[in-house]
């Protein structure tokens, strides 16, 4: 018998527009098929994906269009820094 538990996929999408908001906000979230659709759309639009189950669990408790709380600034800023680094590297590869 297979003892592996089926882990249901969960996804949270954040948006940050510094000129319009003080903090990133949740723009999409879901589990199962909805999470798969969020990830599909991200891939189709070359949006970087960062996997962090602990952070997703916490962010998943927020409402849509809700800004992240102060306590999550550090964790989310690390994710955004990682994404910006990927964007820079990707841009350099395109120019070469």
What DSSP letter does each residue of the chain carry, written as one string?
---PPPPPPEEEEEE--TTT-SS-EEEEEEETHHHHHHHHHHHHTT------HHHHHHHTTSPTTPBPPGGGHHHHHHHHHHHHHHHHHHHHHHH-
The two tokens of residue 51 are 């996997």
39: in domain: yes
26 is in which domain, residue-wise?
10-95
Mean pLDDT of 22-42: 95
The domain that holds 70 is classified in CATH as 3.40.1690.10
In this predicted model, what pLDDT tens digit does every residue of 2-11 receive, in sequence order? 545 556 799 9
2: in domain: no
pLDDT for res 67? 95
pLDDT for res 1? 46
CA distance 31 to 39: 11
Residue 94 pLDDT more than 80? no
pLDDT for res 86? 80
pLDDT bin (cut points 50, 70, 90) of residue 26 is very high
Domain count of the fold of the chain:
1
């Amino acid at each position: 018998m297979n003892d592996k538990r089926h882990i249901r996929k969960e996804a949270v999408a954040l948006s940050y527009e510094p000129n319009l908001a003080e903090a990133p906000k949740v723009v999409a979230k879901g589990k199962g098929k909805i999470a798969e659709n969020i990830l599909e759309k991200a891939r189709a639009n070359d949006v970087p994906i960062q996997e962090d189950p602990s952070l997703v669990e916490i962010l998943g408790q927020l409402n849509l269009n809700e800004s992240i709380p102060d306590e999550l600034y550090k964790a989310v800023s690390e994710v955004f820094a990682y994404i910006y680094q990927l964007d820079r590297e990707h841009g350099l590869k395109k120019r070469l």
